Amino acid sequence: MSTATDSLRLGIDADAASPVFDIADVPLYVNLLGAAGIAFRDHRLDVQVNDEFQKLQASVSDAIQNEKTGYLIEASLFIGPGGEPVIPGGQILYPVGLGMEPIDSLAEHMRYPELRGEAPNPGMYRDNSFYYWIGKKDGKLLARTVPREFRDRLRDLANAERDRREILGDYVRSFPHEAFKTLEVADFWLNVYKSRAAALRSEANRKRVDELNQQMQALQGEFNGLYKHYQELQQEIARCQEYQATLSKIDAIASLVQNGIKAGALFSSDGKAAVGSDLKSPLKADATAEWVERRIDISGENATILEKRINVIFLKLKDGDDAIVKQYGDSNIPLPKREPLRNPVVPRP
């Protein structure tokens, strides 16, 4: 079975330049320091940052629910006029989010500009940023980098995909592993009718059951349309909560990195230049967290409204279900064994 990290979906040249590595063997922290060309001179701070990275890995692992979904993280790094590494505001990592592939993840992220501020104006600084694409296989966290030379390709393709989604208003969301559930009670009764209609006591019974089946089909369609929207809202809430958790871990890392820069404890790996933080970070952690929290609240309120509408339709389906059972019972026709009809959405009081 294919997994999210099998390919970056950016071309075979990008895949060839980005081998998969096991995060258990090469922790994200170790890989990042090597790829960024930086190192801590303060052992205590080094240990603290490493600990926070372990928490970040756990948070990302919790967010990735199956092998077909991955998580995209941006590593933000610039090179100054003198060749020194520069980390904008100490914000060395930035959470992008879940997706089927890096383009999917970044495109969806771009649809919500509230998640980040303006990108730093590089001026004389050279953008040396890259991305991590993290997935799972057999319970292990695997990762690939989106190398710097393919970074702009990813951003351009994600921009185009973002524009397409905005125009169409219909797109593949980042939870495709979890197919939307449906209620299929009308389909059940339609199949029963096909096999038992001839045994109904009279033409009037057959006509009545046929009418009830048509009503049930219409109600089922209306129910499943609302139910799909309800599940989308639940997914949005889960997505925001997962983003919140990752954001808090990354914010803790940023604080430690910024402290290290201010204390002069973070240098280029060759030891020749201190790491700077002159550029402004695009992440406003507090404002972003507030915006995400508002989205959770709004989605929750909309879900509560939908629960009540769904319950009204379910009660009509239940009445129709009882009426069909009675029609077959009046003709002494045994019915297939089935689970009792239950509303998959329990309305809140």
Helices 285-330 and 203-262: crossing angle in degrees, nearest 10, is 160
**56 part of a folded domain:** yes
The better pLDDT of the pair 264, 180 is held by 264
- 43 is a domain residue: yes
Q: List the single range of 53-62, 160-169, 267-276, 329-338 with lowest mean pLDDT.
A: 160-169
The per-residue pLDDT for range 183-241, each reduced to its tens digit, is 999 999 999 999 999 999 899 999 999 999 999 999 999 999 999 999 989 988 988 89
Is residue 32 included in any domain, yes or no? Answer: yes
Question: Is 343 a member of any domain?
Answer: no
Range of the domain at 249: 4-177+230-302
pLDDT digits (tens, 9 = 90+) for 252-284: 998 999 999 999 999 998 888 899 877 777 666
Q: Tell me, what's the pLDDT at 288?
A: 82
The predicted pLDDT at position 172 comes to 43
Examine residue 323 and state whether it is found in any structural domain, yes or no: no
Query: What angle do helix axes 203-262 and 185-196 make, rounded to 10 degrees?
Result: 150
Residue 187 located in a structural domain = no
As for how many domains the chain has, the answer is 1
- 237 vs 299: CA distance, rounded Å: 7
Helices 102-110 + 148-168 axis angle, to 10: 60
Mean pLDDT of the chain: 89
Backbone angles phi, psi at 202, to 5 degrees: -145, 170
Q: How many CB atoms lie within 10 A of CB 139?
A: 7
Q: Does the residue 213 lie in any domain?
A: no
36-40, 170-174, 190-194, 269-273, range with the lowest pLDDT:
170-174
The reply to whether 296 falls in a domain is: yes
Sequence-separated (6 or more) residues with CB below 8 Å from residue 196: 328, 333
Token pair recorded at residue 119: 């990108």
